[in-house]
Amino acid sequence: MKQEPLPLERWLTRRNARLALLVIALVSAAASLSLRHVRFDYDFEKFFPNDDPELARYLSFRERFGHDNDLLMFGLERMGGVFNREFLVRADSLTAKLERLPRVVRVLSPTRLSEPIITPVGMFERPYLRFDNDTLPRIDSASIRADPRIHEQFFGENGNAMLVVLTAEPGLSKAKSDSLLAGARRALVATGFADARIAGRIVGQEHYISTMVK
């Protein structure tokens, strides 16, 4: 005696299978088209609701003290110590190239810092680092090590690393941030610092978003 198919089995036909595959293909195509509008956002403020009191406090703090995350920090290293004339000349050249980049507010580098000297005839400024010859950097290194304001902020404890800090215009878009970072990397290569360590929101944003896209 032939058994009647179950109600569900009646739907399992070749024709219905083709229809189901067609529907799945159409839905997948529509979903794929909508992916064109997917974007990754790195804006810190958008992590909070608009009426969040913590966001209001953060915005008030930023209005008073300015942006604190539009920095690029470059760690320049030299085994044997950074108080070397050739190294400091290249670091100063890097500073000059970074200053000329679009959307850069200022660049802080030990090669451009000076201290005020008060004398009976008036006040003048003396560079913290002089690198006109091979002897001066070694002489200046002693006074820098004795000044924690400069040594702790711009130099490694063992004297083998130096920090250069770039301040960018606040609120740069992703495209402008990427352009600035590309220009900074070209400046590093041109001055022989291609292996320098880079830190800051701009480079972190690039890594974060590229990783998320992958």
- Of residues 2 and 112, more confidently modeled: 112
Tell me whether strands 71-77 and 161-168 are parallel, antiparallel or unpaired.
antiparallel
- Of residues 21 and 12, more confidently modeled: 21
Confidence class for position 31, pLDDT limits 50, 70, 90: confident
Rg of the chain, C-alpha, whole Å: 29
Length of the chain: 214
Domain map (residue ranges) of the chain: 69-213
Confidence class for position 168, pLDDT limits 50, 70, 90: very high
pTM confidence score: 0.72
50 pLDDT above the threshold of 80: no
**CB atoms inside a 10 Å sphere around CB 110:** 25
> How large a percentage of the chain has pLDDT more than 90?
43
Element housing 89 (H / E): helix 85-99
